[in-house]
Chain A
Amino acid sequence: MRVRYSYLEEQFKDFENIFKKIAEVVKSGDYTLGKAVREFEENFAALIGTRFAIGVNSGTDALFLSLKAIGIGSGDEVITTPNTFIATVGAIVASGARPVFVDITDEFVINSDLIEGAITPRTRAIMPVHYAGVPADMDKIMAIAHRHGLPVVEDSCQAISAAVNGKNAGTFGVAGAFSLHPLKNLNVWGDSGVIVTDSEAIRDRMILLRNHGLKIRDEVEIFGYNSRLDSIQAVVGNHLIKDIDWITETRIKWAHKFDKVLSELSEFITIPKRRPNKRYVHHLYMFMAKDRNHLLDFLIEKGIEAKVHYPIPLHLQRCSAHLGYKEGDFPVVEAQAKSIITLPVHQHLKEEEVNYMIEKIKEFYNV
C-alpha cells in the first residue's frame, strides 16, 4: 500500500468546477484585487471571527506586512521560537528586526514561562507560532504582552480554525497571519496568504502596503510592496473555504485515532500533550519516536510518506550564524528535532490507510 503525504491530486479531481468560476473572473478581466478577492476576504474574516481579512501574496508576506504595519524595523527585537518553518524568522529578518528565540513546550509551541526572560528594552513584538495546528498558550502570552506593552502577531499559517477556549488562533493578537500554500488545510493553487485583524488602522495600512502604497491609481501614500492575493487564487479559496469544517474535522478524526492507538506504545512513542481547552487542527500529525531515523526509513520503505518537520532547528541553521546561538541553547527543541516524525493526516486519507500506518508502526516496534 502507498500512503501519500500530498493529497492534491485527489483534492482537485473536480478542478473543472473551479475552472468554471475562474472563467467568470477571466471574462471580467478582473485579475488584480477584484471582486473575488473581496469576497474571499469577507468569507475568511467571518470564518476566523475578526472584523477584517486582507489577502496577500503568501503567509510569509502576511507575517512580514503585519510587522511592517505595526512599525517594526531595524534595531528592534521580535520574540519567536526556533522550531517553525523558516518563513516566520525570515519575515522578522526581512522587516529589519532581530529574531530572539525562546524554547518550546512538550506540544511544540513557545514556552510562555520563558518569554519574560527573553524580553529586553529592544523587544517590540512577540510572534508565537501555532505550530502544526497546535495553538500556542495564548492566554498566558497575551497576559505577558499586556504587562510589557508588546504587540502580538500570531503566526497562524498552519492553524486555521485552531482555538483556545473556543477563541480562534489569529484573533488574540493585533494581527494573525495565515498561509494558503497548497499544503495547508485551506489551500489554493499557488502561493497566497491572509492577514486577519480587528484594527481598522492596521487594515488600512495593510491595504496600502500590499499594493505599492497606492491610495488611488495615481497617488502614493507610503512606499509599499507588491503582495496581492491573485483573483484566480481567491476563486479557489472561495470554493474550498466552504469545506473547511469538514477538512478540519476529518483531520481531527484521524489524529484522534492515531492518538488512541499510539498512546498504547508509550514505551516507544510520546504523543504531545493534548489539552482539553484547545482545538488542534492537525496541519501536521507529529509525535516523538524512539529510533526515529530507522522508523522513518522503515515507513518510507513500506510506502508511507512520513516526514520530519524539521530536522534542524532554526537557531542551528547557517542563516542564523550571525545571531550568535549555539547547540544547547534550546534543549527541548533540539531534543525534539532528533525524535519528531510526521505522518500523513489529511482529509483524503482512507480508513485502511490510517490502519495500515498504525500497523506498520507496531510492526517496526514489534508490538
Chain B
Amino acid sequence: MKVSYLELPRQFKDEALWQEIKKVFESCQFILGPEVKEFETAFAKLCGTRFALGLNSGTDAIFLALKALGVGPGDEVITVPNSFVATTGAIVAVGTRPVFVDVGPDYNIDVTLIEAAITPKTKAIVPVHLTGNPADMFEIMTIAKKHSLYVVEDAAQSVMATINGRQVGSFGDAGCFSLHPLKNLNVGGDGGALTTDSEDLYRKVKLLRNHGLKNRDEIEFFGYNSRLDTIQAIIALHGLKRLREVTEKRIANAMLYDRELKGMEDFVILPPRKTDRRQVFHTYVIQVQDREKLISFLKKHGVETKVHYPIPIHLQRPCQKLGYKRGDFPVCEKQAEEILSLPMHQYLEKEQLDYVIDRIKKFYNRR
C-alpha cells in the first residue's frame, strides 16, 4: 500500500473549482479584484476578527504586521526556534533581532520562559501555533499586557484552531495565516492573510501591501507589493466552503493515530492534547525512538513521512552571528532529533491509517 504525505492533485481535480476560476475572465481584474474583498470578509468572519486582508504569503503577513506596528531596527522580538524559517525570516526582514525561547512538550513556546527573555528592547512576541496546535495564548496575552508588548500570532499552520472556542489569530494584535499549497486552507501558489481587530493596523497593512497607494495617484507612505492574487482568492473562497469538513477529517484521522499510538509509550511519545483547545493537525507530529531507522522502514513500505524540522533555527547558519549555540534550547534540540510527521491530510482512508499504525507496530515489535 502507498500512503502519500500529500494529495494535492486530488484536491485540485475539482471541476467546480475551475468553473469558479473562470469567472475572473469576465472582468480580468487579476489584481485586488472583488473576490479578494469577498475572501477577506469571509476569512475575518471565520476567525472572529473585525478585519482580514489577503496578502502574498504568510511570511509577508508577519512582516507587514510587524512593520505596521512600528517594530524595527534596534528592537527585539521574542519567538521560538522550532518553526518554519519564515517566522524568524520576517522578524529579521523588519530589521529586528529575533530572541528565541525554548518550547514545551506541545512543541509551542514555553510560556514560563518568556519573561526571562524580555529586555528593555523587546517590542513584540511572535508565538507560533505549530502543527495546528494553539500556543498558550491566554498566558501569553497576560505577559504581553504586563510588559506592554505587541503580540503577532504566527497562525500559518493553524486556521480554525481554537482555545476555549476562540480562534487563533484573534488573540494578538494580528494573526498571520498562510494559504500555501501545503496548508489546510490552500491556494494554487503563494498566498497569505492577516487578521486583526484594530482598524488602524488594518488600514496600515492595506496601504503597505499596495505600495502605500491611497488612491491611484497619491502615496501615503512607502510600502510593498504583497497582494493576494484574485485567482488565488477565488481558490481560497472555494476552499473555505470545505474547510470545516477538511478540519474535521484531519482531527478524526489524528484521533485514530492517537488511539493506536497511545499504547506504545516505550517507543512513541505523543504531545499533550489539552482539552481546552481544538488542534487542527496541519501536521501530525510525534516523537519516536530510533527515528532514522523508522523513517527508512516506513519508506520501504510505501509510507511517506517527514521531519518538521531536523535543524532548529537557532542552529542554522545565519543564527551563528546572533550568538546562539547548541545547548541553548535543550527541549527544542532534543525534539529535533526525535520528531516525525506522519501522513496527515483529509484524503487519508481508514485502511491507510491502519496500515501506517500497523507498520509502526511491526517496526518496534521486531526488535
Contacts and interface: CB of A to CB of B under 8 A. Distances in A.
Nearest to A99: B222
A211 B331 CA distance: 28
A12 B25 contact: yes
Interface string B66-85: 00000001000000000011
A214 interface: yes
Contact of B8 (A31, A223, A317, A318): A31
* Interface-central residue, A15, A19, A230, A314, by most chain B CB under 10 Å: A230
B265 interface: no
B9 A27 contact: yes
Nearest to B24: A189
Contact of A318 (B9, B28, B221, B227): B221
Interface string A204-223: 00000000111000111111
Contact of A311 (B217, B226, B227, B229): B217
A103 to B, nearest CB: 19
B92 interface: yes
Interface stretch (A57-65, A127-135, A356-364): A57-65
Contact of B225 (A8, A31, A87, A231): A87
A189 B225 contact: no
Contacts of B313: 220
Contacts of A231: 189
A231 B85 CA distance: 22
A325 to B, nearest CB: 13
B220 A26 contact: no
B316 A219 contact: yes
A190 B31 contact: yes
Nearest to A19: B18
B18 to A, nearest CB: 7
A1 interface: no
A263 interface: no
B309 interface: yes
A15 B181 contact: no
Interface size class of B (residues with CB under 8 A): 35 or more
A310 interface: yes
Given A212-B59, A223-B92, A225-B93, A232 B188 contact: yes
A182 interface: yes
A120 interface: no
Contacts of A166: none
B348 interface: no
Nearest to A61: B225
B243 interface: no
A143 B362 CA distance: 71
Contacts of A26: 8-9, 12-13, 188
A74 B72 CA distance: 12
Nearest to B91: A223
B221 A32 contact: no
Given A189-B231, A226-B60, A58 B318 contact: no
A28 B9 contact: yes
Contact of B86 (A31, A181, A222, A226): A226
B123 to A, nearest CB: 18
A317 B222 CA distance: 10
Contact of A57 (B56, B58, B180, B221): B56
A183 B212 CA distance: 19
B318 A96 contact: no
A40 B313 CA distance: 32
B95 interface: yes
Interface in B37-90: 56-60, 73, 84-86, 88-89
Contacts of B28: 6, 8-9, 12, 182
A86 interface: yes
A58 B225 contact: yes
A310 B59 CA distance: 31
A286 B117 CA distance: 57
Given A29-B8, A90-B211, 12 more contacts: A26-B13, A29-B6, A31-B188, A57-B56, A60-B211, A60-B225, A86-B212, A90-B223, A189-B24, A226-B190, A308-B217, A318-B218
Interface of B: 6, 8-9, 12-13, 18, 22, 24-28, 30-31, 56-60, 73, 84-86, 88-89, 92-93, 95, 180-181, 188-190, 211-213, 217-227, 229-232, 307, 309-311, 313, 316-318
